[in-house]
Structure 1
Amino acid sequence: MTIQTLEGVKLTFPTFLLMAGPDSGQGTGPLTLVWFGLIFVVFYLLLIRPQRKKQKEHERLLSELKKGDKVLTTGGMFGIVFAIDDDRNRVVIKINDNTKLEFLKSAIAARVDK
């Protein structure tokens, strides 16, 4: 392969070809826009929508959290909600009789059935 120069920049031959525009002179048709639209719709349905639904369910769980609920943290610790501080967005979880830990509310992964 030879090296071509373009305004003082050395490029390999395939890179130089990629920089060249289309040879036919035809523009992209409206079909390309339809494809981009379809790809966006599929992306929305498969990724964005389920993530939003999961986020809303988690927010609902945190808003309904009350003292005495058995919970699981994102770190895998089980405990009972001892106190809730909505101003600081914190939760105190009682792990056993002598151990109480403070977590962010967002660290609560799930409520465990009693």
Structure 2
Amino acid sequence: MDISQLANFLPYVLVIAIFYFLILRPQAKRRKEEKLFTESLKVGDRVITTSGIHGKVNQINESKGTVMIETNAGKLLFERSAISQELTKKLTEPESSK
């Protein structure tokens, strides 16, 4: 393989590298952070679900992967993955930074 053939593959290699660093790597990092967040949930944490329901974690069932959330309307059962990391972070931010 000579230099001209190698130069023909360079744009493809660059596109793959850009795709990896701009799309795949950040998604993997976000998934890892969300997994750590859902695993670190404990009873008494104030959370917001992906559907926007605010509540407090009342019970956690590790074997089923569910979380019981207490709201003003009562207690609701959710999958652990239904707890939103981003919305919950906004809920727990100090008032001075808002």
Which TM-score band applies after superposition, normalised by the shorter structure? Answer: 0.7 to 0.9
Unpaired runs of at least 5, structure 2: 94-98
Where in structure 1 are there 5+ consecutive unaligned residues? Answer: 1-27
> Given the alignment of the two structures, is residue 94 of structure 1 paired with residue 70 of structure 2, yes or no?
yes
TM-score by length of 1: 0.70
Q: Which protein has the bigger helix share?
A: 2
Kindly provide the CA deviation profile for residues 48-75 of structure 1, in whole angstroms up to 9, marking residues without a partner as x.
1111111111011101100000001000
Q: How many residues align?
A: 86
> Residue 92 of structure 2: SS of its match in structure 1?
coil
1:78 counterpart = 2:65 = no
Give the secondary structure class of the aligned counterpart of 1:29.
Answer: helix
Greater relative contact order structure (CA < 8 Å, 6+ sep): 2
Give the % identical residues.
Answer: 35
CA positional deviation for 1:29: 2.5
* Max Rg structure: 1
Stretches (4+) displaced over 2 A: none
